[in-house]
Chains A and B, each alone.
Chain A
Amino acid sequence: MTFQTHTGNRGLVLEEKLIFEQGEAGRSGVDLPDPEPVKSRMGGLERDSDIGLPGLSEPQVVRHFTRLSQKNFGIDSGFFPLGSCTMKHNPRLNEKIARLPGIADLHPMQPESTVQGALELIDQCAHWLLVLTGMPAVAMSPASGAQGELCGMMAIRAALDARGENRRRVLVPESAHGTNPATAAACGFTVDSIPATADGRVDLAAFEAKLGDDVAGIMLTNPNTCGLFERDVRKIADLVHAAGGYFYCDGANFNAIVGRVRPADLGIDAMHINLHKTFSTPHGGGGPGSGPVVFSDALAPFAPIPYVVKTENGFHLVETADEKDGKKPFGRLKGFHGQMGMFVRALSYMKSHGADGLRQASGDAVLNANYLLARLKTKLSVAYPGYCMHEALFDDDFLKGTGVSTLDLAKAIIDEGFHPMTMYFPLVVHGALLIEPTETETKESIDQFCDAVLSLVAKAEAGDSEFFKNAPYLTPRRRLDETAAARKPVLRWTPANA
């Protein structure tokens, strides 16, 4: 666009300075009463220097963050088919419930007698997760999917230690999310990569060949990161158990099978559930998440503190790692009791759907993904044959010779008004495009997306690579220089005269 405005603003796209560049001494967005003079009891440690925070009035703050929000794309803005992230509708009812008096204003250290409803809520949320997975135990406290993995792998480590076995090798498919190997390493395990077959699943023969008496277990994502159900999952479970190891399932993609397949029926020992994916607690621009972990009987005793138990006198929160009633907790993962605000939202979501609605949700998610797959495979190259689960995976073979990369295509998709798919993940597929429509999209929006992508592919095939190299054109900022950002990191604002 050639025409420039005086302000740099472009209609509804408004330039916005940092708050630090707008502050004036003497302004504030709060009215606080003057404290009564008291003799300081801070032991001579009173602050004696300025902090450097800007002063803004309330209307300035509201406008600042409103303008910033308008530079963001969210699920509320439009179709957001970011594979492996499950960007489904976030119901506002759940936000309302999380803010109820008696929930939002509970202090984590209140006496048990004053929080019986909160403990019952955690217990109810746990019950839904247990029935949906068919598993006997659950640890609610992990803060996120990655911490859920840590929880599961620490339980495996603790179980091995209790058996007096020094097994340290963990088998991880090469298509796994980066958190899997990072988590295994954090528990003192070494990572041994399992190759994939031509159809995107674990190579069973290669897996079997790697088993041995030093194998602690396998970390397997199912449905896997290629959006496929691991057909041999039961054989994998049987083999790893026969070899004396445990089966950790990365449950990031539980949303594809919830209400239709119980992980317990597949032979798993531990699985985390991303409440922010399957049960739609908001992603919030990168958290907070929540990652409860379900356990088999073999691992249940090692689950971390705290946990809720039901007694004759109501609900009780166990906060000590003492060994009792057959429990040997491996420790504590988080301050207080876990992401309560996410349990509230997830329970509200589960109650809204019910057993029937959750089953419908997973079915529609898989149907939407397969419909999108069927429509796009006319032009795009499918990574693996057959039906997919909740997301469709393509490689960049269809772009060969066009001079257009997966990244370029993604940036052009932004100009069409969609959030792009996940790019270059999983790493096992060249130039991967991972597309997850979710069950809360209409057929119309999926059709519009497919039409747009197909027209862009036609444009690429027609030889207009320059158009793609310079996309996006219509965003508040165009392509950003990430190399420069990393070479000389500027991680905070500093005053010009500093």
Chain B
Amino acid sequence: MRYLPLTKADRASMLETIGAGSVDDLYCDVPDGALLKEPVDLPHHLGEMQVERDMVKLAAKNMGTASAPSFLGAGAYRHHVPATVDYIIQRGEFLTAYTPYQPEIAQGTLQYLFEFQTQVASITNMDVANASMWDGATSCAEAVLMACRATRRKKAVLSGGLHPHYREVTETYCQYSDTELAGRDGHPEHQATADELDDLIDDQTACVVVQYPDVFGRLDDHTKLADACHAKGALLIVVFTEAVAFGAIKSPGSFGADIVCGEGQSIGNALGYGGPYVGLFATTSKLVRQMPGRLCGETVDQDGKRGFVLTLSTREQHIRREKATSNICTNSGLCSLAFTVHMSLLGEDGYRKLAAINHERAVKTADALDGVAGVEVVNDSFFNEFTVKLAKPAAEVVEALVARGIMGGVPLSRLYPNRDDLGAFMLVAATETNTDEDIAALAAALKEVLA
């Protein structure tokens, strides 16, 4: 087996040094009958060529977004990732490193984490960010738990504009911690106002969670809501699924948000059928010690040179055990590196221009679809994703579009399987990867399907 270097002679001489008769003897503590004498019932080892052949066959059964015009969003977005990103993250010193527990030989990881934290804090306009979470949905759940700890309250208000997966993960995380979740169902044709959410805040409310842009693609100024939260001692959590947006829209920090968290996949990371992704998590200096996850901080070494270390680990499970702020142990290291490299390539100009292109593509798509009979663009405002109301059930339309070689959008019935009132709606996202030809093809195919 090509990954296993020991030879028969090695094994024999090592067993002799150990003083054991066989490898099975080393398993002498395994209870009687539980030690298998033969390999389990699975295929035997394969060479690299055969494995690749098997896996390529599986891949070929799929229709990738690179091979068809694709307008899918709903929390994951197709963007162009510069070749440099994949080259850097495949360098063995990054790919095959562990958590930087020995900072003297992990300054590479630590310095990029410090840069990552600075980038995330900058685009959200918050004081500090952590070294990443598993994904946007788990970041949202951890933010709610953090708000409960920080306020010593047990109630959270979730806006109807929150992505259903984020809501479900938050419900799952909170279900055994006596945290009460309130909020109304969202609807693409009704956007909750700050006053409506304000009515749900009481003196036991730890936080209000809004998504910006929301799951239906809409934008809203949450300054008034932040004030309403703060007036009642609650925190405002702003969640996002599209990290490119902050290159074009006002930052959540400028609203007065206390925690800003969401999905960082859009920058540097492949769609990859949903994971691994990278959760971004930012907050105010005041709340930093309540934050979950790893943090990298600046310090000096014994020669007085600047260096970086993991810090404030007294919040974490390996020190605090059952009193830890979270059970999270790993972060999403390599995905945060991909984010950092891509963001470094973009810089201020590139990031803002990328966002402007995304908006322009979405406006063009919306204009094209608005001209199709049986399609109504629902949103008053959007960044690069919006909701359309169709004259036929959206799930059927999506299938009909696939038959024409186009992935036209995500039917809301996929995200809300138990909401009969949303069957006619579809989410459409457009990014810099969508060409004028893609947009024309989508409009033409929709015209056919809806005729």
Contact = CB atoms under 8 A, between A and B. Distances in A.
Contacts of B407: 107, 110-111, 114
A90 B95 CA distance: 9
Contacts of A54: 344, 347-348
B175 interface: yes
A28 B299 CA distance: 30
Contacts of A371: 14, 17-18
Nearest to A442: B5
Contacts of B451: none
Given A45-B219, A352-B46, A56 B347 contact: yes
Contacts of A357: 1, 3-4, 44-45
B100 interface: yes
A480 B299 contact: yes
A355 B78 contact: no
B275 A340 contact: yes
A99 B40 contact: no
Contact of B332 (A229, A288, A440): A288
Interface in B307-324: 307-309, 311-314, 316-324
Interface string A352-379: 1111111111011011101101110000
Interface stretch (A69-77, A203-211, A451-459, A460-468): A69-77
Contacts of B198: none
A285 B94 CA distance: 6
B235 to A, nearest CB: 19
Contacts, number: 722
Given A61-B84, A181-B322, A143 B51 contact: no
Contacts of A334: 134-135, 137-138, 165, 169, 275
B56 A100 contact: yes
Chain A CB within 10 A, most for which of B92, B108, B125, B128: B108
Interface stretch (A145-153, A293-301, A398-406): A145-153
Contact of A354 (B42, B48, B74, B92): B42
Chain B CB within 10 A, most for which of A109, A179, A359: A109
A101 B67 contact: yes
A114 B94 CA distance: 34
B65 interface: yes
A223 to B, nearest CB: 9
A309 interface: no
A356 B45 contact: yes
A108 interface: yes
A70 B27 contact: no
A71 B108 contact: yes
B363 A41 contact: yes
B105 A35 contact: no
B302 A478 contact: yes
B148 interface: no
A45 B317 contact: no
Chain A CB within 10 A, most for which of B127, B134, B221, B350: B134
A73 B93 contact: yes
A195 interface: no
Contacts of A288: 134, 275-276, 278, 330, 332-335
A74 B165 contact: no
Chain B CB within 10 A, most for which of A27, A68, A99, A284: A284
Interface string A83-103: 001011111010111111111
Nearest to B300: A481
Given A351-B51, A486-B312, A32 B350 contact: yes
Chain A CB within 10 A, most for which of B27, B82, B381: B27
B62 A115 contact: yes
Given A54-B347, A104-B272, A420 B28 contact: no
A443 B111 contact: no
A132 interface: yes
A352 B51 CA distance: 6
Given A68-B108, A102-B58, A367-B26, 11 more contacts: A20-B115, A68-B107, A74-B95, A117-B61, A124-B58, A145-B330, A187-B176, A285-B94, A285-B109, A354-B42, A440-B3
10 nearest CB pairs, A to B = A336-B274, A117-B61, A76-B92, A43-B381, A284-B334, A331-B172, A108-B274, A29-B345, A102-B59, A288-B276
